[in-house]
Each structure stands twice: as C-alpha cells, then as structure tokens.
Amino acid sequence: MISEIIESSVINKRIKDISHKVLNSVRITPEEGIALYREAETALLGLLADQVRKRTVGEYVFYNRNVHIEPTNICVYDCKFCSYSHHQSKESWELTVDEMVKTVLNLGDDITEVHIVGAVHPARDIYYYADLVKRVHEARPEVHIKAYTAIEIEYMAQRSGLSFKQGLQLLKDAGLNSLPGGGAEIFDDTIREQICGKKSSTEAWLEIHETAHKLGIPTNATILYGHVEQFEHRIHHMELLRQLQDRTGGFNAYIPLKFKNKNNEMSYIDEVSSVEDLRNYAVSRIYLDNIAHLKAYWPMIGKEMAVLSLAFGVDDLDGTINDSTKIYSLAGAGDQNPSLGSDEIRQLILKAGRVPAERDSVYNILKEG
C-alpha cells in the first residue's frame, strides 16, 4: 500500500528509489541521506520514518522516572553555543558531594534513574567523581546511575593521569551504569573549532564511547544541530555513529539536540523551524537503522512539539525530570521550569494514539499502558 502511494506520487525517481530501499529495510548511503534532507517532502519523511519506527519498536513510546543532578556550571571550556556555564550564565554553582547525596536520599521511591552531568570543573579529578558515584550508589543501590559526558570523562581521566579505559573502569567499579550522549556536538573538527574550539575532538568522543561499550557500559549518542552545520555534516555525524554501532552495539538511543540561541555567543544565529526539527527526527530514524531508540528531549523542544515528533520516528520522550535541569532553560527553551509527572507524560503519549511504556534505563519495560 505505502509502496503504491510512493510510486504514484509526484516525486523524483531518486527519492522514490530511496523510499523503496527504506521500506524494504535496505541501508541507505550517506549520499541518499543528504538527498532526503534536501529533496524529500516533509510528509514523505514522516511516512518513511514512521514505518521504520513501527518495525523497530512497534507502538510503544518509552519514558522513565528520572531526576537530573548538575554538580556545577563552572567550566574550563567556553563554548560559543553554551548558555549554561558560568561564562555566560548570570549564576554559578558548585554542589558538594554531601548535598548531591542528600538530594538522592530525598528522591521518591519511584525514581529509577539519576542522571548526573554538568560542566567540566577545573579542579575536580576522576577520583572526586568516582567517589560521588560510589556514595550515590550506596545511598540508593537500586537506582541506575547515568553519569558524565565523554567531555567530562576525557578531562577528569587526563587530569588524573589515567587512560580512558582505566578511568571508565574506575567509574564502573564505583557504581556507574551508563553514559549520557552529551558533548558530541557535531563530528566535524572545522566546525568544532568555530563553536567549541577548546573541547575534545571527534576522535576522543568516539573512542570514549567505544571503550565504554567494550567494558559493558551502554551509552547514548547526541548531535547538536541547527547552527552553522550543513546537511552533509549531520549525515557524516550519523555515519560515524552508525559505524560505531555496527562494531559494538552499545548505543541505547540517539538524541538530536536543537541549538537554542538565547544567552550565548551565537545568539545572532536564528533557530531552525519546528518543521526542520521534525524533518531532522525523521532522517535520523531512517539513517540510524541500527540504533533502536530515537529520543525527543521534551525540555528542549516543549511538550507539544514532542508529541508531534512521535509521527516522525520518535519513540522516547525521556523522563519525568522534576524541574532538575537548567541546561536548556538557560538557553531559552520553551519549558523554563521543566517538570512532568508520569501521569502527564502518559497522557501525552495516549494523545498521540500510542502505547505508553515506562522503562528502565536500558529499555526493559516496567509498566505498559
């Protein structure tokens, strides 16, 4: 039926051929991914992405009960797109380990994940952060600890004189369960030089995640899109992730992160449209055929856009969060006080005609419907 609709549509032969490949579970090439960005109609992208989503995860939309802890926004880096670090924000903070452990102890019994990520503090090494993980794990041993971006790990390991493998093993032994995907930004070192020149390289990010996978630590992956990059850069970014996933199978989810232009050095750049957000989700779902889950981070794009994204390949809305993150609110995100209860997130999913699935951090379903 869908193949017949595509064949009878007024679209060029190349897009028809790519569409048939997608429908027949044939991997598309980087050139074909770029063509989808440039030439495919938005409705067609949504249709194709939705088919890929259905055969990958069915009708489920996943969420979890999580809370974010952001230890500090004092950072050695001064990325031009960042509105969060003390270089740009009007506020700065530096939580103690005791304060963070107290936060964890005071969480409700229903929380299943603690997400710890923040700035790269100049004076804190890997032993400090391993101690934090150890104490959080001792306080709530049943809670999954997802902590520290590759950017944080690179700095803390090097500062401590450890290899990436040694540093990750130390953190795992302390109780670390998985890594978030932050810090990837865009895998093009020319662009990285423009927007985050001091931050670690593409190669370092990929090496840390590959090392984590080999140690049995699952991770997520991200992209920062909608700034100075072109479609070719987005596809190249996803191609490197797709190749790594072919080697290790260690990525749980892919999370496109939209550049927000408030309170940072790149405020002169207009944000891309909501239509472009949806198109980007769709191409991501189509291209990354070996990463099962595509997440729309609702504190970034807002609740209503998150619901719309479910028609463009998205199957995960992140979690309840409980107003515990400032990274996107400081950059001008629609939800300035991001908080969403589990009943609310379930209703958003039901509104989209899909099946809510509360999950743990590695996508085991805890509660359906």
Helix axes 164-174, 126-139, angle to 10 degrees: 20
**Which is nearest to 169 in space by CA: 216, 206, 202?**
216
- Which phi and psi (to 5°) does residue 255 adopt? -130, 100
What's the chain's average pLDDT? 91
Amino acid letter at 238? M
- Please say if the pLDDT value at position 245 is more than 90: yes
Q: How far is CA 49 from the centre of its chain?
A: 18
Where residue 78 falls among pLDDT bands split at 50, 70, 90?
A: confident
The predicted-structure confidence for 135-180, as pLDDT tens digits, reads as follows 999 999 999 999 999 999 999 999 999 999 999 999 999 999 999 9
**Which pLDDT score, from 0 to 100, does residue 93 have?**
82
The predicted-structure confidence for 169-221, as pLDDT tens digits, reads as follows 999 999 999 999 999 999 999 999 999 887 889 999 999 999 999 999 999 99
**Which pLDDT score, from 0 to 100, does residue 1 have?**
67
Q: What is the spatial distance between Cα 200 and Cα 36, in angstroms, rounded to a whole number?
A: 30
Order of strands, sheet of 251-258, starting from the edge strand that comes earlier in the sequence: 219-225, 251-258, 293-294
Q: What is the spatial distance between Cα 22 and Cα 48, in angstroms, rounded to a whole number?
A: 7
- Please say if the pLDDT value at position 107 is more than 50: yes
Where residue 8 falls among pLDDT bands split at 50, 70, 90?
A: low
- Please say if the pLDDT value at position 236 is more than 80: yes
Q: What is the spatial distance between Cα 191 and Cα 324, in angstroms, rounded to a whole number?
A: 31
**Which pLDDT score, from 0 to 100, does residue 213 have?**
98
Which domains, from first to last, does the chain contain?
Answer: 2-50 (no CATH), 58-368 (3.20.20.70)
Q: What is the mean pLDDT of residues 238-246?
A: 98
**Which pLDDT score, from 0 to 100, does residue 89 have?**
56
3-class secondary structure, 357 = strand
- Please say if the pLDDT value at position 124 is more than 80: yes
Q: What is the spatial distance between Cα 125 and Cα 156, in angstroms, rounded to a whole number?
A: 5
**Which is nearest to 49 in space by CA: 18, 22, 12?**
22
**Which is nearest to 146 in space by CA: 102, 177, 111?**
177
Q: What is the mean pLDDT of residues 236-260?
A: 97
Which has the higher per-residue pLDDT, 56 or 87?
Answer: 56
Neighbours of 173 (CB within 10 A): 11
Torsion of CA 349, 323, 78, 281, to 10 degrees: 0
- Which phi and psi (to 5°) does residue 232 adopt? -60, -35
**Which pLDDT score, from 0 to 100, does residue 210 have?**
98
Q: What is the spatial distance between Cα 260 and Cα 199, in angstroms, rounded to a whole number?
A: 19
The predicted-structure confidence for 291-337, as pLDDT tens digits, reads as follows 999 999 888 888 899 999 999 999 999 887 654 444 444 444 445 45
Is-contact 270 256, C-beta < 8 A?
A: no
